[in-house]
Chain A
Amino acid sequence: MIYADNAATTKMSQAAIDKMVSLMKDTYGNPSSLYRFGQKAKEELELARETVASVIGAEPREILFTSGGSEADNQAIRSAAILGKAKGKTHIVSTKFEHHAVLHTLDKLEKEGFEITLLDVHEDGLVRPEEVAAAITDNTALVTIMYANNEIGTIQPIAEIGRICHEKGVLFHTDAVQAITHVPINVVEQNIDMLSASGHKFHGPKGTGFLYAKKGIKLSNLIEGGAQERGKRAGTENVPGIAAMAVALKEASDKLDETAKYLIEKRDRLIEGLYEIEHSALNGDRTKRLPSNVNFCFEGIEGESLLLLLDEKGIAASSGSACTSGSLDPSHVLLAIGRVHDVAHGSLRLSLGEDVTDEDIDYMISAVKEVVTYLRSFSPIWRDLVAGKKQFIL
């Protein structure tokens, strides 16, 4: 099987598995206990915090461990909203193509009286810093913009957006779930006040993640109870998971440049190959995108059928089609970059793993070509397009 859905989740690294198993077997003490056996677990926890902090240029006390990216997003935005409201500020700036962990939290805040501005991301899937600047008012409590988009992989000008926020005295949060370990991140140099990350996206375990919050930002709890995580997240810490996440994060970050160089070459080979399919288009900017991300729309076909047929050929991929979403609407990300419904249905995301080879890429190109041609052969939409009864969009 070629696993090309690494934006959904990744295979755990062997070093992370070893770390996790070793802690589960031998260091199962409760880090809040005072005896040595518990304190050993506490040491592992704090070691993990130091590792995570050093990777993103933060201080250990600025790292809060969570159950994943969604929880970190929720806590960051809720905390900023509460801090803002205390100062009478009730406006939040974000974008149309954020992850639902952000968008749904903002929906709730809107119902609670906040004013939400969702910026356009244009056809290339990129936020314009000057539009962020224009959207900020005296009433703005927070700007939250993702580092890289989960579907189309576009990398946002985070450092510049952060600089604008700081000039205007507004808190800046970024959901870096897709970006971390793929793009160099330094929270100080890039003017980031809060950052969310998820362990299983970089070969760590599921159910792990962290929130970076700059010293001085008072976080509010989502979970009340004991005094764990400096009192900001109650519940006995997932020590084996956290320690394994830190191992995976360090491992992936140490070889970031090498991996990026390798994957960009593979990504570009795949993009060029898929462009040979007529009436297709790449979604998102050609170069300002994650090294692992390829996302295409193919006119006249539907994405779920495409995925099922690729699965039959041993390729695991993803689509923004309505039929795969559980709801009846196509991906909000593809709609946000201006793809119309018909076209958004025929989308395919291939997110590459670091072990992908040229042979894998070539196999994927030929498999996608074959499946698209087959599905078009009995698509009434394709028939109308070819007959000239409908205009081609791509």
Chain B
Amino acid sequence: MALYSEKVMDHFLHPRNVGVIEDADGVGEVGNAKCGDIMKIYLKIDNEIITDVKFETFGCGSAIASSSMATEMIKGKPVTEALELTNKAVAEALDGLPAHKMHCSVLAEEAIKNALEDYQSKQKK
């Protein structure tokens, strides 16, 4: 048996939405202080709809795959819906993660929430 599911390997080897959005409407960066993984999410939002999303990740295969999957799941979605994304949903969409790698999907959820909060705080100003 392989370490990761085929879905995880697919998203790791061919990550979707890799890169940077220079004029992003929201940017989120989170790190796992202990294991050292870092995830950065860039959002382009138009009329409360996420029109584009990019990510950069320093981390293991499951961290990169979780970033890729999570960005796919919120692309084109309303902000309110993206706020409800859970790490469990990300892990399920990847056909599961090994137990000791679940924290990578948590990182993806947190990075997206962090970017959405950044967007919302900018809206208030």
* Residues of A near any B CB (own CB < 8 A): 300-302, 304-305, 308-309, 312, 321-324, 326, 328-330, 341-342, 345, 377-383
Please judge, given known A-B contacts A300-B58, A305-B60, A312-B13, whether A381 and B38 are in contact too, CB under 8 Å: yes
Q: Which of A304, A312, A329, A345 has the most CB of B within 10 A?
A: A304
Proximity bits, B12-45, A CB within 8 Å = 1, else 0:
1101001110000000010010111111100000
Other-chain contact of A305, B35, B38, B61 (Cβ < 8 Å)? B61
Is the contact region of chain B dominated by helix, strand, or loop, or is it mixed?
A: mixed
**Would you call B78 an interface residue if the criterion is a C-beta within 8 Å of the partner chain's C-beta atoms?**
no
Interface pairs (29), CB distance under 8 Å: A302-B37, A302-B58, A302-B59, A302-B63, A304-B59, A305-B59, A305-B60, A305-B61, A308-B9, A308-B12, A309-B13, A321-B60, A322-B34, A322-B36, A323-B35, A323-B60, A324-B60, A328-B35, A328-B103, A341-B36, A342-B36, A378-B19, A379-B57, A380-B38, A380-B40, A380-B57, A381-B58, A383-B20, A383-B56
CA distance A304 to B37 in the complex (A): 11
- Residues in chain B within 8 A of chain A (CB atoms): 9, 12-13, 15, 18-20, 29, 32, 34-40, 55-61, 63-64, 100, 103
- Complex Cα gap A321–B37 (Å): 11
Instruction: Give the complex CA separation of A300 and B56 in angstroms.
Output: 12
B39 touching A304 by the CB < 8 A rule? no
Q: How far is the CA of A321 from the CA of B63 in the complex (A)?
A: 14
User: Are the C-beta atoms of A323 and B29 separated by less than 8 Å?
Assistant: no
B12 touches A326 (CB 8 A): no
**In whole angstroms, how far apart are the Cα atoms of A304 and B59 in the complex?**
8
- Set of chain B residues within 8 Å of A309, measured between Cβ atoms: 13
Pick the contact of B36 from A308, A312, A326, A330 — CB < 8 Å? A330
In chain B, what residue has the closest Cβ to A302? B59
Q: Which residue of A305, A341, A342, A378 contacts B56 across the interface (Cβ within 8 Å)?
A: A378
CB distance from B71 to the nearest CB of A (A): 12
| Residues of chain B within 8 A of A301, CB atoms compared | 58
- Compute how far the CA of A326 lies from the CA of B32 in the bound complex, rounded to whole angstroms: 15
Assuming the contacts A322-B35, A345-B36, asked whether A378 and B12 have C-beta atoms less than 8 A apart, the reply is no
How far, in Å, is B61 (CB) from chain A's closest CB? 5
Q: Which of B19, B38, B100 contacts A326 (CB 8 A)?
A: B100
How many A-B contacts at CB < 8 Å in the complex?
A: 64
- What residues of A have a CB within 8 angstroms of the CB of B55 in the complex? 378
Could you tell me if B37 and A323 are in contact, using CB atoms closer than 8 angstroms?
A: yes
Best-surrounded residue of B18, B38, B60 (most CB of chain A within 10 A):
B60
Q: Which residue of A lies closest to B55 (CB)?
A: A378
What 4 pairs across the A-B complex have the smallest Cβ distances? A323-B60, A304-B60, A328-B35, A380-B40
Contact present for B37 and A305 (CB under 8 Å): no
Alpha-carbon distance between A381 and B40 when the two chains are bound, in angstroms: 10
Given contacts A305-B59, A322-B34, 10 further A-B contacts (CB under 8 A): A304-B59, A304-B61, A323-B63, A326-B100, A330-B36, A342-B36, A379-B56, A380-B29, A380-B57, A383-B20
Quick one: closest B residue to A319, CB to CB?
A: B60
Question: Which B residues lie within 8 Å of A383 (CB)?
Answer: 20, 56
Tell me if B58 and A328 are in contact (CB < 8 A): no
Q: What are the residues of chain B within 8 A of A328 when measuring CB–CB?
A: 32, 34-35, 103
What residues of B have a CB within 8 angstroms of the CB of A378 in the complex? 15, 18-19, 55-57
State A341–B19 Cα separation when bound (angstroms).
Answer: 25
A320 to chain B, nearest CB (A): 12
Measured CA separation A263–B29 after assembly (Å) = 44
A375 CB to nearest B CB, Å:
8
Q: Which residue of B lies closest to A377 (CB)?
A: B18
Collect the chain A residues with CB atoms within 8 Å of residue B19's CB: 378
Instruction: Identify which of B15, B56, B61 gathers the most chain A CB atoms within 10 Å of its CB.
Output: B61
A302: chain B residues at CB < 8 Å are: 36-37, 58-60, 63
Evaluate contact between B36 and A305: CB separation under 8 angstroms: no
CA distance A312 to B14 in the complex (A): 12
Cβ–Cβ contact A380 & B39, under 8 A: yes
When distances are taken between beta carbons in the complex, the residues of chain A under 8 Å from B56 are: 378-380, 383
Q: How far is the CA of A329 from the CA of B57 in the complex (A)?
A: 19
For residue A346, give the distance in angstroms from its CB to the closest CB of chain B.
Answer: 9
Looking at the assembled complex, report how far the CB atom of B41 sits from the nearest CB atom of chain A, in whole angstroms: 10
A323 to chain B minimum Cβ distance, whole angstroms, is 3
How far, in whole Å, are A301 and B100 apart by their CA atoms in the complex? 20
Rounded to whole angstroms, the CA-CA distance of A382 and B56 in the bound complex is 10
